[in-house]
Amino acid sequence: MERRLELFPDTAQIVAGDDGRTALTIGGCNLAALAAAYGTPLYLFDEATLDARVQAYRDALAAHYPAEAAITLAGKALLLKASAQWAARRGLWLDCTGAGELAIAAAADFPGERLLVHGVNKSDEDLHASLESAAVIVVDNLTELQRLLAMATAGDTPLPALWLRVRPGVAVDTHAFRQTGQSDSKFGMDPSEVRSALALCSAAGQTVEGVHFHQGSHFHNVQPIAPGLETVLKLIAQIHAETGWAPQVLSPGGGWGVPYHEDDLPHPSIEDYVRFVAEALVAGCAARALPLPRLQLEPGRSIVAQAGVALYRVGAIKQSGARRWLLLDGGLADNPRPALYSARYSALPVLEPTRAAVGAASLAGPYCESGDVLIHDLPLPAIAEGELLAVPVSGAYHLNMASNYNGARRPAVLWLRSGHAQLVQRRETVDDLLRRDMGLDA
């Protein structure tokens, strides 16, 4: 319980309140006041924490990789106009999955030359939007490549830089739903398909600038990166020997994990991960006399997760058999991760409870699913009905996966910086729910 504050944004503090109760603050902002002004559930992002995670990546790359390097923020973890604007100002690249995310990036004036487009079955709309934004397209399969080459011929326009996504046949150790690198994964091309893709591009006069692979998401053990990288470098070395081609950019994707619960602490650092990848790449290229490519990392969660906090209000407290339920005003609809991956979370009361600790409570949302449980059996002080709870590490894969289940209106989002909270996404309304629902003709 004492370590729980470490899960919150770097600026989180417990301060003495006016009424004698201590209060949790983030970025110098009073959370109870924000909840009163904007309602709950409410999502908060602390810019200082986002900046610190980016700086950790930059410092680690500068210390351990002797050639050019870049960081792509994985938009799938979090994509709002505000986060895209922030990423643009910080000089990051941004990865978008398809036309919808590209539209958000465009609305944020994100520079096209730092956009990447991923997608396992990109629609024509996705491909056209990618070409319009001049983004780098990460080609997932041969059919997609043929469609792209045909589009270039039909439109008589050259394609922008292409990267090829390789399936290395090795996944990282994580939940099965987050593994992507294994040999039977739906993502990317196997080595023989990569060779075919290069041959197709060469015949069409199309440059291939990069090679990409991503072995999975939310891993804590870096070791499986080594055989994945070795497979990719071996393939590149063979092709280099045969054709002289080598990629200018190599991206081992993202996926570095974060601690979600105090039991996950201490957690290995961003530097531990970057050092391992950089050293493996330097050694692998040296062993094969390959030039060092630009190393382009693609983290999402490890940059945005800890910067985000979800605030909920306890509506009712219920004792069901041996279990004490705190029934919250949000859950599955704004955070499907516990239901999807059995993800474990922690929480702290926003204001110091007035009574002594009573032990474990489970935190459930208001939705009609027994799986709508954010946290099982968490040691907590005696929380009263009407109190606020703050759930840390809520910045990644919450809002981007949020739904309107049971008519839920997605939460408002505040951006905290320099002691000030800005509303960057308003709460959805009933009008938003009805806007595209056309109904039957008479």
Site string for ligand PLP, 92-131 (x = CB under 6 A): --------------------------x-------------
Smallest distance, ligand PLP to C-beta of residue 62, A:
20
Stretch that binds ligand PLP, among 4-12, 273-281, 297-305, 383-391 (CB under 6 A): 297-305
Using rule CB under 6 A, residue 206 touches ligand PLP:
no
Using rule CB under 6 A, residue 255 touches ligand PLP:
yes
Smallest distance, ligand PLP to C-beta of residue 300, A:
3
Using rule CB under 6 A, residue 160 touches ligand PLP:
no
The DSSP line for 66-99 is -S-EEEEEETTT---HHHHHHHHHTT-EEEEEHH
Q: By CB neighbour count within 10 A (0-12 exposed, 13-18 middle, 19+ buried), where does 19 fall?
A: exposed
Smallest distance, ligand PLP to C-beta of residue 118, A:
5
Stretch that binds ligand PLP, among 9-17, 80-88, 276-284, 299-307 (CB under 6 A): 299-307
Nearer of residues 256 and 345 to ligand PLP, judged by Cβ: 256
Q: In the numeric block, which tokens belong to residue 255?
A: 């996926």
Q: In the numeric block, which tokens belong to residue 248?
A: 């200018």
Single-letter code of the amino acid located at 148: L
Smallest distance, ligand PLP to C-beta of residue 97, A:
8
Separation of alpha carbons 70 and 61, rounded Å: 9
Among residues 101, 140, 298, 372, the one that binds ligand PLP under rule CB under 6 A: 298
Separation of alpha carbons 408 and 154, rounded Å: 44
Give start and end residues of each alpha helix (H) in 288-390. 301-304, 337-341
Among residues 53, 76, 122, 398, the one that binds ligand PLP under rule CB under 6 A: 76
351 has which bridge partners?
Answer: 23
Smallest distance, ligand PLP to C-beta of residue 380, A:
28
CB 328 within 8 A of CB 374: yes
Nearer of residues 186 and 323 to ligand PLP, judged by Cβ: 186
Give 270's Cβ-side CA count (13 Å radius).
Answer: 23
Instruction: Say whether 96 is catalytic.
Output: no
Nearer of residues 41 and 254 to ligand PLP, judged by Cβ: 254
Site residues for ligand PLP, 373-412, by CB under 6 A, read 396
Smallest distance, ligand PLP to C-beta of residue 24, A:
26
C-alpha closest to that of 126 among 150, 99, 145 = 99
Residue 226's alpha-carbon distances to 169, 229, 272, in angstroms, are: 12, 5, 14
Nearer of residues 4 and 337 to ligand PLP, judged by Cβ: 337
**Number of shown-chain residues binding ligand PLP (CB under 6 A):** 18
Helices 124-133 and 142-155: angle between axes, nearest 10 degrees: 60
Using rule CB under 6 A, residue 217 touches ligand PLP:
yes
Helices 225-243 and 270-287: angle between axes, nearest 10 degrees: 30
The residues assigned a catalytic role are 368
- Interaction site with ligand PLP (CB under 6 A): 74, 76-77, 118, 180, 214, 217-218, 253-256, 298-302, 396
